[in-house]
């Protein structure tokens, strides 16, 4: 099964990012494909390479980058939501890219399921 994922919440303000990441890992481990993760609204904060959580805390940004590197998951940051929040190409962590809402629509059409995390 092909999954696309939409994340609407930031990495440390809500459980949505962690839940989405764990969902993606579980889906891939079960033999499914995660074609794209689209970061929208405050979800764009998941892509900022300058995030430095305490050493004893999880680093969700690095987790996403590693998932993209190891499994070819397309990590897309909404350009409009990003610009509203100061998230531009130069602040993106490895594996992330900026694009428009058309990428979310395309992911929803091409995937068997579009799973949303966060409000």
For the chain, domains (ranges, CATH) are 2-117 (3.40.1260.10)
| R_g over Cα of the chain | 13
Task: Using the predicted structure, report yes or no on whether residue 48 has a pLDDT greater than 90.
Answer: yes
Q: What share of the chain is helix, strand, coil (3-state, %, to 5)?
A: 45, 25, 35
Q: What are phi and psi of 33, to 5 degrees?
A: -115, 135
Task: Using the predicted structure, report yes or no on whether residue 92 has a pLDDT greater than 90.
Answer: yes
Q: Which of the two residues, 119 and 108, has the higher pLDDT score?
A: 108
Instruction: Kindly report which listed range (39-43, 51-55, 75-79) carries the lowest average pLDDT score.
Output: 51-55
Task: Provide the whole-model pTM.
Answer: 0.96
Residue 78 annotated as catalytic: yes
Q: Of 101, 21, 108, whose CA–CA distance to 68 is shortest? A: 21
Rounded Cα–Cα distance for residues 112 and 2 (Å): 5
The residue annotated as part of the active site, out of 7, 16, 78, 104, is 78
Q: For residue 81, how many C-alpha atoms fall within 13 Å in the half-sphere facing its CB?
A: 22
Q: What number is the average pLDDT over the span 46-72? A: 94
């Amino acid at each position: 099964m092909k999954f696309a994922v939409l994340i609407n919440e930031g990495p440390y303000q809500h459980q949505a990012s962690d839940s989405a990441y764990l969902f993606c890992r579980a889906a891939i481990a079960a033999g499914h494909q995660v074609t794209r993760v689209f970061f929208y609204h405050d979800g764009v904060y998941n892509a900022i390479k300058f995030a430095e959580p305490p050493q004893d805390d999880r680093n969700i940004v690095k987790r996403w980058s590693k998932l993209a590197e190891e499994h070819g998951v397309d990590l897309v940051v909404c350009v409009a939501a990003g610009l509203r929040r100061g998230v531009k190409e130069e602040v993106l962590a490895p594996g992330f890219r900026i694009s428009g809402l058309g990428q979310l629509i395309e992911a929803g059409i091409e995937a068997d399921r579009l799973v949303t995390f966060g409000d």
